[in-house]
Amino acid sequence: MTDLYAVIGNPISQTKSPFIHGLYAKACGQDMAYTALEGPLGGFSGAVDAFRAAGGRGLNVTVPFKMDACAYATTLSERARLAGAVNALKFEGDQVWGENFDGMGLVRDVTHNLGIALRNKRVLLLGAGGAARGALLPFLHEQPASLTIVNRTLSKAVTLAAEVASQAQVTACGYVGLAGQAFDLVFNATSASLRGELPPVPATVFAPGCLAYELAYGKGLTPFLRLAKNAGAAPLADGVGMLAEQAAEAFLWWRGVRPDTRPVIAQLTVPLSGS
């Protein structure tokens, strides 16, 4: 019997998840069907209940339902708990497991696909929302020399840093506090690029040979990446590899086999060109 999986969000027409998981299932010889579900706003639980009743085995979760999924799960991983958000659910009888693979996918893309270590590096994380929260524990697991969280609302960055204070020394500051500092890896986890905007980060944060990573994908040379490029940062990357890798982590979690992400990354990559 074909196992059922899906991604749920609203809107959902833009999702690449059925394409990605379809390729993974074919490559790994898995008898599974994967579809997209547009969940009604305010009706997440009912939609998931119906999917489970129809035999659904697991769900990927995207905006605006990641916090709803966190509340729906009966058991959360540490990553999901810290993020306060779930991007993958697994159903086993009455048990609902909640996971957050976004940060794992990001670290895997950087260390495996790009071949750049975080260990003993100076890391700057722009933003303190869900994307930043999801990345925090996987970042710290790589043992960077320092990790700085910056956010327009300083209190959010301070709160996030305090939540992991027992595990590592994490610094929080506002954008004005970045003056005179330089970093080896800079990650834009803000939503600014989705609006075509630039977070108020000074060009001086990019040390020579710095990796500038845009978590948004498929946007080409965003204002953040353009700033980094003009400041001499190299390499530049967007979130297409993170997308493929977090999907592969969910696939492994559900099916017990990890797919090769390279064909997906090759097909979805948008060149980072422009002036």
Strand pairing category for 170-173 and 146-150: parallel
Task: Tell me, rounded to whole angstroms, the distance of Cα 65 from its chain centroid.
Answer: 15
Burial class (CB in 10 A: 0-12, 13-18, 19+), 84: middle
In Å, what is the CA distance from 190 to each residue of 155, 246, 256? 16, 18, 33
Q: Please tell me the distance from the alpha carbon of residue 197 to that of residue 221, in angstroms, as a whole number.
A: 12
Distances (CA, A) of 143 to 102, 108, 218: 18, 14, 29
Q: In whole angstroms, what is the distance from residue 254 CA to residue 50 CA?
A: 19
66 is an active site residue? yes
Which of the residues 16, 26, 66, 219 is marked catalytic?
66
231-to-210, 212, 225 alpha-carbon distances in Å: 10, 10, 10
Q: Which helix (H) or strand (E) holds 135?
A: helix 130-141
Dihedral (CA of 138, 140, 145, 147) sign: positive
CA–CA distance, 153 with 128 (Å, rounded to integer):
9
- Catalytic residue positions, numbered: 66
